[in-house]
Amino acid sequence: MKEFYENPLITRYSGQEMSSLFSAKKKFETWRKIWIALAEAQKELGLNISDDQIQEMKRYQDKINFLRAEEIEREIRHDVMAHVRAYGEQCPLAKPIIHLGATSAFIVDNADIILMREALMIVRFKVIKCINYLKNFAEKYKGLATLGFTHFQPAQLTTVGKRACLWIQDLLMDLEDINFRLNNLKLRGAKGTTGTQASFLKLFDGDHEKVKRLDKLIAEKLGFSDTFPVTGQTYPRKLDSNIISCLRSVAESAHKFSNDIRLLQHLKEIEEPFEEKQVGSSAMAYKRNPMRSERMASLARHLIVISLNPPITSSNQWLERTLDDSANRRITIPEAFLTADAILNLYMNISRGLTVYPKVIEMHVKQELPFMATEHIIMEAVKRGADRQEIHERIRIHSMEASKLIKEQGRENDLLIRLSKDPVIPLDEDYISKLLDPMNFTGRSEKQVEEFIEEFVLPVLSDYLSEETDTEKTEDEIIV
């Protein structure tokens, strides 16, 4: 039995890849990668740094002496300087040039941006997987007529596949936002203590062009095309707000999807996956609770709430910097990504394993379709010479009577039989029955599914899915 609190985002919900990305090991390896990039760029621009010093740094990039770094930090109360000294003890030759001209924010901020970019790419890939699973689902059920609902009251018919396209469209909007952030993501670069680059200007004897080139070189070595043109001591904290807003948007889409699945499972029309030996309730053995969708909603609410932290932090920064962002960011940024990852693991699992019950859907359609067919009946009766207002009134009376018997006595809907026997309505039972093909009431739903997938979904899948398949981590890593 473990005696201390463990974050369930790590122990229960998020995937291994995302959890590892925000580990101490990954963070400090990234710090050392940045120190190496700094030294390499400074050497290329003429500072007295040797190949041997850089090679020594590279040999120990992934061999972090954690215990020694922790021991030093307890003494000096500064995490970056503790790791500078610990790294220097491993690399005595390179020790004099490690962290040369840099500030703590140079290491921490650049590392945070690098890690957020990698994390956002994991999120993007899983969003794409969800889109792909839902695309398959939409294609399969593009022509299955079902009740549409407004206010959770029966409305005009749609199709199961058309409804799935609404879920896909939300995710496509999320993907567009994620791509924009990734494509425009800038590194902090080498800006110095208050963003003036004074220390680097001193190192290069007042050569402004070399200082500017240093900024670009470091970005290139770390896989970025650009840096922020100006900063204070830190990169603009609005970046955190912008990136986390992408995750919040994914949470919104997932929560809406989870709500829909839970409502449909109540209707017994669609169910989330349910394993052979899965237990739905400790008391009621018959139950098949939508626990995955419920968990998705729960996690989505958590992410939506913690996404408020970055904009509040950004708006409260003072001048060139204040340190009241640090503790908050250490918690909020990893938790936001871990939560998004957990949500998407559930979304992938549910969307690829949905079970549809066409007979139940058909039963619900038949219960409501007679009411929906009344407009067609009015139009056809008028074509045959009937008075529109008189027909409308007869249908209103019969509809109220049929609805009353359904609600009060649990009878089947006999509206069409009533209408066919009404002498005022010039339509027989055979003709009225022919009106009840559900596909007469779904409009362009099926065609919309085909067009939407062809024009908007397949181009996205062809752009991303094939090239990122190798990075896929199975959803079965975690208990969903």
Start-to-end CA distance of the chain, whole Å, equals 23
Q: Are 177 and 170 in contact (CB under 8 A)?
A: no
Model confidence, pTM? 0.88
Torsion angles phi and psi, residue 355, rounded to 5: -110, 130
Three-state SS at 473? coil
Which residues are known catalytic residues?
151, 281
Query: What pLDDT sits at residue 406?
Result: 83
Query: What pLDDT sits at residue 287?
Result: 53
The answer for residues whose C-beta is within 8 angstroms of residue 102's C-beta and 6 or more apart is 35, 38, 190, 199
Write the DSSP string, 183-209: HT--B--S--SSSS-HHHHHHTTT-HH
Query: What pLDDT sits at residue 132?
Result: 96
Torsion angles phi and psi, residue 318, rounded to 5: -110, 125
Query: What pLDDT sits at residue 470?
Result: 40
Query: What pLDDT sits at residue 282?
Result: 44
Q: Going from the first residue of the chain to its last (480 residues), give the mean pLDDT of each consecutive group of 10, the final group possibly shorter.
A: 82 90 94 96 94 95 93 92 94 94 92 96 96 97 94 90 97 96 94 89 93 94 93 91 96 97 95 67 58 95 94 89 86 95 96 95 88 80 88 87 84 81 83 81 93 95 66 46
CATH superfamily, domain 16-102, is: Fumarase/aspartase (N-terminal domain) (1.10.275.10)
Q: Are 124 and 464 in contact (CB under 8 A)?
A: yes
What single-letter amino acid sits at 20? Answer: S
Q: Which residues pair with 271 in a beta bridge?
A: 355
Nearest to 170 by CA among 472, 452, 361: 452
Query: What pLDDT sits at residue 56?
Result: 95
Any idea of the CA torsion for 124, 126, 132, 133, to the nearest 10 degrees?
-160
What single-letter amino acid sits at 17? Answer: E
d(CA 326, CA 381): 73
- Residue carrying the six token digits 């708006």: 315
Q: How is domain 374-435 classified at the architecture level of CATH?
A: Orthogonal Bundle (1.10)
Residue ranges of domains in the chain = 16-102, 374-435
